[in-house]
Chains A and B, each alone.
Chain A
């Protein structure tokens, strides 16, 4: 009896499992139909808790502002946005994406701040055949060695941002540089991207350090090494709270007076700039955007953004704004919201000429875009990154 029972039970479970799987598959397949041809459901994956929360806020603002200015429609379809909390890394980010795909059955995913999360959801997104437009995560692998045809990026690659500075410094007479960045992927890619471009231009890296990420509160030991290295300048990449600690301590130890700081633009972008105060004054950095860009699209964008949120726009907000822009064009062109149609449409989208960041286009699913040399200055009582020079376009895999 028990044997039969067990066998029956196993059979039942197997049957249920299969039914569950097919049920799941068919419901996923039916999503496009249930969405209809006049609506699209978008899952916005952004950090709502933890250290990256300020970036999540900016991304949501850029996204909301674009929709508000475009009648809440992407490519003519009415948008429903479902927000999920990405948290600080893949342990929260992957379940968030899974929930959006399986419970909320979204048509398209937008967002993702952490590169580890972006790499972690690759297989999920690919097997669901849904489009993911990354609005921040900058690891090179996302659109190169680990690429998926369904994952596109409107932000940057870490190496690209750093290479812009390397190329610029090599031609500006600074011959000896010390490079420092945290010992995780983004930091390593920044140092590599910078060093390659800087050395190619004839510069010398006189030393480099990679302080433990998230475990360094005091940079004094590293500052000593910079001081004794004989460098003419320091190239650095730090994000979030670490960028505040590094910039402040660099100034507190008097280094900013003798060895100028050059940076990947995230060091001084967004909320951290306010927290750095006087210490950030004069820092030169490269990035694909600054709120001070003087082009018609950015002037209009800046005015609308300030009116809506009483804050200056950031690169993170523009990345989300542009994600909405390219999605809208792709949906209008494809007249469908499945991953294959949208990826195909993005592939033929051409140059986006009216972005606040200036003209850009997709190259290997990531932006080829102009980089700007920026200097931290105080304007009307608030620190901003003023434009020093347009450094011209760079490919994502530089």
Chain B
């Protein structure tokens, strides 16, 4: 029965794409929601992760090369996050526009540097042995890597959720959003907290790039494509929570997957059509914190 097969495959695929989208957007949402900085260089971080996956693993990843790539993207993501935190700090009292101009400039420079380093060709990489085959779902073959991605991304998502919502580190993050002077009073430097959020958000972006490399393939222009997707997720999900972007990302995973399978003629309108529909009903996003505290 092809209809069942189409539906099942599309839903599984939507889950994989949605979770990857969450890992990508979570960092953007954290930095925007907690530190009030709109980081338009987020897509460039994703692309950097994808290029590193290819540079270290080549066209065919092995498990050791994947492990090296994970270490590399975490280190590079942390360094980039620290740098972004320092660069945006002088603008922290300025308007979003000025911050956006700065990070957009960084994104443009980064894109040119990546293009100079890795060329303008598509740099595709295949997952390591064991994940490069297919499994059978409802009678149809499905790439095993995407299935594994569901597991890994779900674990990552749970870890991020736990860190932000349940640990004292997360409490510190949230406290800095609510009242940075009080955080300073209890003896914690808010600049360190700020740096911590930037590092966490940036590492998530480069990790997402590594995980997404076998699906999206590193190439010039991928940074802006990913940035737009992540921004849509953040806008729909609302700021300052982890739950919001998670649900928004899962929603868009299904919209992009099931929606396009069922309504191929409307494929190009589905993403922004859904965005418009959500904004009409909930102009502040699905889950936005009330100003000054948690809802």
Contact = CB atoms under 8 A, between A and B. Distances in A.
Are A and B associated in one complex?
yes
Interface of A: 50-51, 53-54, 183, 209, 211-212, 215-218, 220-222, 224-225, 227-228, 240-241, 244-245, 248-249, 252-254, 271-272, 274-278
A249 B45 CA distance: 24
B264 A225 contact: yes
Nearest to B229: A217
B276 interface: no
B126 A224 contact: no
Contacts of B122: 240-241, 244, 271-272, 275
A383 B127 CA distance: 20
B257 A241 contact: no
Contacts of B271: 215
A252 B143 contact: yes
A252 B145 contact: yes
Given A211-B267, A244-B122, A217 B216 contact: yes
Given A218-B257, A271-B121, A276-B124, 12 more contacts: A50-B220, A215-B268, A218-B256, A224-B5, A224-B6, A224-B10, A225-B6, A225-B264, A227-B2, A272-B121, A275-B122, A275-B124
Contacts of A51: 120, 219-221
B59 A253 contact: no
Contact of B261 (A53, A217, A224, A271): A224
Interface in B1-57: 2, 5-6, 9-10, 13, 17
Nearest to B259: A221
A114 to B, nearest CB: 15
Nearest to A55: B120
B141 interface: yes
A220 B220 contact: no
B264 A254 contact: no
B5 A218 contact: no
Contacts, number: 103
B221 A50 contact: yes
Contact of A253 (B6, B142, B219, B264): B142
B215 A277 contact: no
A224 B141 CA distance: 10
Given A225-B261, A245-B217, A277-B126, A254 B121 contact: no
B124 to A, nearest CB: 5
B60 to A, nearest CB: 8
Contacts of A241: 122, 217, 219, 221-222
Nearest to A278: B126
A279 to B, nearest CB: 8
Nearest to A212: B268
Contacts of A218: 13, 17, 215, 256-257
B141 A254 contact: yes
B163 interface: no
Contact of A277 (B17, B59, B143, B260): B59
Interface string B254-281: 0011111100100110010000000000
A7 B42 CA distance: 55
A254 B134 contact: yes
Contacts of B174: none
A241 B141 CA distance: 24
B140 interface: yes
A230 to B, nearest CB: 9
Contact of B264 (A50, A221, A248, A252): A221
Given A244-B122, A253-B142, A272-B122, A221 B261 contact: yes
Contacts of A271: 121-122
Contacts of B10: 220-221, 224
Contacts of A183: 268
Nearest to A277: B59
A274 B261 CA distance: 30
Contacts of B168: none
A225 B2 CA distance: 9
13 contacts: A51-B220, A51-B221, A54-B120, A183-B268, A217-B225, A221-B258, A221-B261, A222-B264, A224-B10, A252-B134, A252-B146, A275-B123, A275-B217
A275 B225 contact: no
Contacts of A222: 260, 264
B221 A221 contact: no
Contacts of B146: 252
Nearest to A88: B221
The 5 closest A-B pairs by CB, nearest first: A254-B141, A212-B268, A228-B2, A221-B260, A221-B261
Interface string B134-161: 1000001111011000000000000000
Interface centre among A51, A215, A252, by most B CB within 10 Å?
A252
Interface in B217-274: 217, 219-222, 225, 256-261, 264, 267-268, 271
A228 B6 contact: yes
A253 B146 CA distance: 10
Interface string B95-123: 00000000000000000000000001111
B129 to A, nearest CB: 13
A240 B222 CA distance: 13
Nearest to B262: A221
Contact of A220 (B9, B120, B225, B267): B9
Interface in B157-185: none
A277 to B, nearest CB: 5
